[in-house]
């Protein structure tokens, strides 16, 4: 409908659409969170959680309509056939742009339980979205560097406790927990600084997902290994709004959660080493997958 407009106009219209859509759904989500807090009964809180998630799925659904109206991206997505909304998933993905979040929301909306991310604590104050993430039980985490923890040893393990607390909430209602295991967005500068062994990826950080699997045990039914590729190069969120991302390719690989992935990552050195090896092997395969998708 708006695809013949100049890119800047499409971007402005798309951004306006996102803003209006957010202003419509966020008050509804916050209202549900308010009523949930009034009555501390499990069945009531579970029902309110379901309603809030349905509102969030409606929010994403309207965003998809916005993308279709103002964008011209060709989507090539494979691997969604066996997914179910009644199961728990751990979603792992490479990270290159803020667009990645919109990609995951779009491809998984209403195919699996609502996808929830670990969010930096500072983002709680982000207008509207931060409060909506809180109301939807997104876990807010505080990242500490090794240098900071050496000076403040009493805070060691605090991030693990936050993860465990969030996972207790996740046990009451099917959920998809998403994690960008590289810890940050890929750039060539970061790639060089890390001396990453991968051509298209940064080094992995295994602790976060190991803690999720350890806290939730066998309740996680599957791991979804997601590879996101922008064949013509990674572009900004604004470029996506303007319709300047021509093509996005996504591959979803469904993996079993076997017993070797469940253990005490913090205290069992053997388990930690084996878990890191499993994740590094997964990242080697992802690196090769990206190479293939860039060529095709």
Which CATH number fits the domain that encloses residue 244? Answer: 3.40.1130
pLDDT exceeding 70 applies to what percent of the chain? 92
Domain annotation covers residue 101: yes
Work out the number of other CB atoms within 10 angstroms of the CB of residue 27: 14
The greatest distance separating any two alpha carbons of the chain, rounded to the nearest whole angstrom, comes to 58
Residue the block writes with tokens 């919109």: 102
The reported pLDDT for the residue numbered 208 is 84
Q: Tens of pLDDT along 181-215?
A: 998 899 999 999 999 999 999 999 998 889 888 88
Number of independent structural domains in the chain: 1
The reported pLDDT for the residue numbered 166 is 73
Q: Tens of pLDDT along 20-47?
A: 999 999 999 999 999 999 998 989 999 9
Domain annotation covers residue 2: no
Taking residues 49-58, report their average pLDDT.
95
In this model, does residue 156 exceed pLDDT 70? Answer: no
Domain annotation covers residue 10: no
* The token pair that represents 203 in the structure block: 């080094």
In this model, does residue 143 exceed pLDDT 80? Answer: no
In this model, does residue 157 exceed pLDDT 80? Answer: no
Domain annotation covers residue 267: yes
* The token pair that represents 154 in the structure block: 């009493």
Domain annotation covers residue 28: no
In this model, does residue 109 exceed pLDDT 90? Answer: yes
* The token pair that represents 98 in the structure block: 């803020």
Domain annotation covers residue 204: yes
Taking residues 144-156, report their average pLDDT.
65
With beta carbons less than 8 A apart as the criterion, state whether 202 and 184 touch: yes
The answer, as to whether pTM is greater than 0.85, is yes
Q: Tens of pLDDT along 239-271?
A: 999 989 999 999 999 999 988 999 988 889 999
């Amino acid at each position: 409908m708006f695809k013949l407009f100049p890119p800047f106009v499409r971007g402005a219209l798309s951004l306006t659409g996102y803003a209006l859509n957010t202003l419509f759904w966020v008050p509804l989500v916050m209202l549900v969170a308010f009523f949930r807090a009034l009555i501390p009964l499990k069945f009531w809180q579970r029902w309110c959680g379901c309603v809030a998630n349905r509102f969030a799925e409606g929010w994403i659904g309207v965003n998809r309509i916005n993308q279709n109206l103002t964008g011209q991206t060709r989507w090539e997505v494979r691997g969604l056939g066996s997914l179910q909304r009644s199961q728990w998933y751990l979603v792992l993905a490479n990270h290159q742009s803020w667009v990645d979040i919109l990609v995951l929301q779009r491809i998984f909306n209403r195919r699996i339980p609502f996808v929830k991310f670990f969010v930096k604590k500072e983002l709680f104050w982000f207008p509207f979205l931060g409060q909506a993430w809180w109301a939807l039980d997104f876990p807010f985490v505080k990242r500490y560097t090794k240098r900071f923890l050496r000076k403040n040893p009493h805070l060691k393990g605090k991030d693990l406790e936050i993860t465990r607390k969030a996972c207790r909430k996740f046990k009451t209602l099917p959920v998809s927990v998403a994690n960008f295991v590289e810890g940050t967005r890929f750039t060539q500068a970061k790639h060089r600084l890390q001396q990453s062994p991968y051509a298209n990826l940064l080094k992995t950080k295994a602790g976060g997902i190991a803690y999720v699997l350890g806290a939730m045990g066998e309740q996680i039914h599957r791991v979804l290994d997601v590879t996101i590729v922008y064949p013509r190069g990674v572009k900004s969120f604004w470029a996506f709004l303007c319709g300047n991302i021509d093509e996005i390719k996504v591959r979803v690989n469904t993996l079993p959660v076997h017993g070797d992935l469940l253990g005490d990552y913090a205290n069992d050195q053997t388990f930690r080493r084996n878990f890191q090896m499993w994740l590094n092997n997964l990242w080697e395969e992802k690196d090769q997958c990206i190479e293939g998708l860039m060529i095709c």
